[in-house]
Amino acid sequence: RKEVEQDPGPFNVPEGATVAFNCTYSNSASQSFFWYRQDCRKEPKLLMSVYSSGNEDGRFTAQLNRASQYISLLIRDSKLSDSATYLCVVNRRGSYIPTFGRGTSLIVHP
Amino acid sequence: DTEVTQTPKHLVMGMTNKKSLKCEQHMGHRAMYWYKQKAKKPPELMFVYSYEKLSINESVPSRFSPECPNSSLLNLHLHALQPEDSALYLCASSRGGGQGNRAEAFFGQGTRLTVV
Phi, psi of B46 (to 5 degrees): -110, -60
Q: From the candidates B56, B91, B101, B114, which should be mutated to test the interface with A, based on the most A CB atoms within 10 A?
A: B101
Give the CA distances from residue B79 to residues B19, B67, B115, in Å, rounded to whole numbers and listed in that order.
7, 14, 11
Q: What secondary structure letter does DSSP report for A53?
A: T
Identity of the highest mean pLDDT range in A28-32, A104-108, B49-53: A104-108
Q: Residues with Cβ < 8 Å from B62, sequence gap 6 or more?
A: none
Q: Say whether the peptide bond before residue B8 is cis (omega within 30 degrees of 0).
A: yes
A103 contacts chain B (CB < 8 A): yes
Chain A hits for B96, CB-CB cut-off 8 Å, are 96
Cβ separation B42–A103 shorter than 8 A:
yes
Q: What is the pLDDT of residue B57?
A: 92
B5 part of contact set with chain A, CB < 8 Å? no
Q: What is the pLDDT along chain B (116 residues), one digit of tens a residue?
A: 669 999 999 999 999 999 999 999 999 999 999 999 999 999 999 999 999 999 999 999 999 999 999 999 999 999 999 999 999 999 999 987 655 556 889 999 999 999 99
DSSP state of B84: G
Residues of B (45-74) whose Cβ lies below 8 Å from A: 45, 48, 56
pLDDT 10s digits, A84-95: 999 999 986 667
For the segment A65-85, what is each residue's pLDDT rounded down to a tens digit? 999 999 999 999 999 999 999
Is residue A110 less than 8 Å (CB to CB) from chain B? Answer: no
Instruction: Indicate left, alpha or beta for A67 from its phi (over 0: left) and psi (-120 to 50: alpha).
Output: alpha
